[in-house]
Amino acid sequence: MKFENTIIYLFGFPGTGKYTIAKEIVKQANFVLVDNHLINNPVFSVIGPDGKKKLPDEVWENCKKIWHVVWDSIHMIAPPSLNYVLTNQLTEQTIRDRAWFFEIAGHTEKRGSRFLPVRLLCSEEELRRRIVMPDRAQRLKMTDPDGVSRYCQEDEVLKPDYPALMELDVTDIPASEAAKIILERAKG
């Protein structure tokens, strides 16, 4: 599948499969993966997160600085024909998450990109199963099943009022199939 100047933004709770689905999108079409851990891990790696405790708020300001460097590179240096799949955890209760979503949407508009935000959902039981996978700790990701339960009981995945928003429940869908569904929608 060939695309040009398209940005897909996958967001959901930890363990939803954002990175796994994004890797499948890259396999199936000509996209560059900009995973939130590409951005976050330079900061995470120097503060020693354990995957269970809440990170200090200052972490996110430093991650945001890295993101701006990456976005400037996408916008100012990369050929406009390139496509990107972005991943992130965004929730309703975090005010900065809503602002961040619309900042990303604004960047894609300035770039003149076709933009498909995808709100990924998954059952709590499945999230608890996925969150403890060994590869998550290696990538400095959240690994606490109780933390996932708190998210599911106290919050919800961000649901921005955005016309092109796609919602996909990936509880029982393999990542390769989810990628195919998302790419079909991105074709328009």
CB < 8 Å & 24+ apart, contacts of 123-129: 123/171, 124/148, 124/149, 124/152, 124/153, 126/15, 126/171, 126/172, 127/13, 127/14, 127/15, 127/16, 127/152, 128/15
CB atoms within 10 A of CB 4: 12
Count CB atoms within 10 A of the CB of residue 172: 9
Using the predicted structure, report yes or no on whether residue 1 has a pLDDT greater than 90.
Answer: no
Q: What was the pLDDT predicted at 52?
A: 67
Q: What is the mean pLDDT of residues 48-52?
A: 66
d(C-alpha 170, C-alpha 94), whole Å: 23
Q: Span 61-82, mean pLDDT?
A: 92
Please give the average per-residue pLDDT across 1-10, as a whole number.
94
Find all residues with CB under 8 Å of 148, minimum gap 6, and list them.
Answer: 13, 14, 15, 124, 127, 128, 131, 142
Looking at per-residue confidence, does 166 or 48 come out higher? 166
In the chain, domain spans: 6-187
* Superfamily per CATH, domain 6-187: P-loop containing nucleotide triphosphate hydrolases (3.40.50.300)
Q: Which residue has the tokens 């695309």?
A: 3
> Between 51 and 171, whose confidence is greater?
171
Task: Give residue 95's pLDDT.
Answer: 84
Q: Would you put residue 111 in left (φ > 0), alpha (ψ -120 to 50) or beta?
A: alpha
Q: What is the mean pLDDT of residues 101-124?
A: 96
Q: Please give the angle made by the CA atoms of 142, 96 and 117, to the nearest 5 degrees.
A: 75
What would the pLDDT profile of 139-184 be if each residue is shown by its tens digit? 666 677 777 777 777 789 999 999 999 999 999 999 999 999 999 9
The more confidently predicted of residues 130 and 32 is 32
For tokens 């100012």, the residue is: 76
Percent above pLDDT 90 for the chain = 62
